[in-house]
């Protein structure tokens, strides 16, 4: 795995909260960018989706993104805090990723149950 989920649970308000650490040896960092590695945005969104999957105990697929903002760079070995609160519809999540109490990424995503093939 290219990152480690340290903790993942629901908070007192029902939101998914997780703490993850990025693996400095992740192939994501190899090509993005040599000599100045950062975690690509798609990898960040994948982490949020997988943390929600683990907590709700259901395989999910990302359907839609909205208002996604990437504000800070994520470096190899960074420990991140993920917060994803369900919106009016269960499959709608408002999320944020933080590092050292600074927002790194935020937005809204819609997740749907993954159809088995």
Q: What is the pTM of this model?
A: 0.92
For residues 20 and 51, is the Cβ–Cβ distance under 8 A? yes
pLDDT of residue 44: 96
DSSP code, position 91? T
5: β partners: 20
What are the tens digits of pLDDT across the range 85-112?
998 877 899 999 999 999 999 999 999 9
pLDDT of residue 117: 64
What are the tens digits of pLDDT across the range 10-57?
999 999 999 999 998 888 888 778 788 999 999 999 999 999 999 999
Q: Cβ neighbours of residue 61 under 8 Å, at least 6 residues apart?
A: 111, 112, 113, 114
Q: Is 34 exposed, middle or buried (0-12, 13-18, 19+ CB in 10 A)?
A: exposed
pLDDT of residue 81: 98
pLDDT of residue 29: 87
pLDDT of residue 41: 95
For residues 93 and 108, is the Cβ–Cβ distance under 8 A? yes
- Give the homologous superfamily in CATH for domain 3-113: Hotdog Thioesterase (3.10.129.10)
> Which residues are known to be catalytic?
32
Res 114 pLDDT > 80: yes
């Amino acid at each position: 795995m290219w990152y480690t989920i340290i903790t993942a649970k629901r908070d007192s308000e029902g939101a998914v909260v997780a703490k993850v650490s990025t693996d400095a040896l992740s192939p994501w960092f190899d090509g993005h960018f040599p000599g100045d590695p950062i975690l690509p945005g798609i990898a960040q969104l994948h982490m949020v989706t997988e943390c929600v999957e683990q907590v709700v105990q259901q395989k999910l697929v990302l359907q839609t993104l909205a208002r996604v903002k990437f504000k800070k760079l994520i470096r190899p070995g960074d420990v991140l805090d993920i917060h994803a609160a369900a919106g009016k519809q269960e499959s709608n999540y408002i999320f944020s990723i933080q590092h050292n109490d600074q927002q790194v990424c935020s937005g809204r995503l819609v997740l749907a149950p993954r159809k088995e093939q």
